[in-house]
Amino acid sequence: MTRSKRKWVAKNGEFELGALLGGCLPNLHCIPFSSPTGGELEYSLINQITDMPHRTELYQDVPSTCWPIVYSPGYNITFMGLEKLHPFDAGKWGKVINFLKEEKLIADDMIVAAREATEEDLLVVHTRRYLNRLKWSFVVATITEIPPVLFLPNFLVQRKVLKPLRTQTGGTIMAGKLAVDRGWAINVGGGFHHCSSDKGGGFCAYADITLSIKFLFERVEGVSRATIIDLDAHQGNGHERDFMYDNRVYIMDVYNRYIYPGDGFAKRAIKRKIELDWGTEDKEYLQKVEMHVAGALNELRPDVVIYNAGTDILDGDPLGGLAISPQGIVKRDEIVFRAARTHRVPILMVTSGGYQKRTARIIADSILNLHSLGLIDKNLATGEAKSSEVELMLRTTPLLEATQLPV
């Protein structure tokens, strides 16, 4: 229900609410507006009246023995070779996990198993009209940029293409709560930053970033401000459109100014916009990232950071058009996590775009580097640190005096 004006009836100096939404509020005596017992007064409802959040399987307790790393084998898209018709490596998420296992950082029983987002979960952000459009194969073919999908029965499209994306979306929502509980979380998939509530595109069918933030706002006490740091090579026009008029969300976006999507309207939502030229290299890129991440977190201290860590900035990426080295990507992630730790802000990382086979190895190397530096502290992901202690560390420890970069 949106904000509205209601007629209230004065009776013996007290207000009693008449019929609301076709019924009575609990513990209130309903009397007709025409009642002779009192005069009519107009009263503006101050707070928006909303339904209680729906029941979801995505916000369940996670064993303390699990790291806040979210993944499911269901992330990977494999069907008759169709996934090879798009430059995106539709199996990179499983490769990242395999690399981390090889390095003995994690094991299967230490990973949080992602759950598929249900229709009710998706309706927190998406319109029903948009979700119904996904029942047409040609719509999905357009969004995923895989033309042969057009000729598949939609039940196959749902099972083989959209279900993996819904599972990654569920993983991002789950990782949002984990980040707040543990101080950090990584969804090995997700980052569908071109999708908004009513439109998909660029291989993004569900607005997982928007959903993770909306879930936190609705369900987690103390989370009322969020900062999105979008460092994918492409502009994140989906979440920008979703949060265009929401001052609770601060968006920083660093992207190649010359490539898709070039969404001028969505750019109006960006609070800190850094547009890059073709072939931008490590030195310039990392200087700008470090300066502006610090500036963003100094400008508005959020309750959570959502970090869209696309690897399509890698030199040679067929779509990104930038020239960042593997070492530059690892350093970039380090800069963002260090800034979040310095400011005592929980951080959720999603992996987003990256269109070369070697990006899985780079993502794994970056996670290993974060661990080696203590920026993803193992203790915070085990029984040695309870969520209350994480809360204390992140929210109540006085900030250390530090020399800040110019903003």
Residues serving a catalytic function are: 194
* Residue 385 Ramachandran class (φ > 0 left, ψ -120 to 50 alpha, else beta): beta
Alpha-carbon dihedral angle through residues 96, 102, 107, 111, given to the nearest 10 degrees: -10
Measured at the CA of 378, the angle between CA 373 and CA 381, to 5 degrees, comes to 140
Terminal Cα distance for the chain, rounded = 41
CB atoms within 10 A of CB 315: 16
Q: Within its chain, how far is the Cα of 178 from the centroid?
A: 12
C-alpha gyration radius of the chain = 23
Query: What's the sign of the alpha-carbon dihedral 135, 195, 349, 212?
Result: negative
Whole-number Cα distances in Å, 120 to 109, 128, 142, 206, 213 = 29, 10, 24, 13, 16
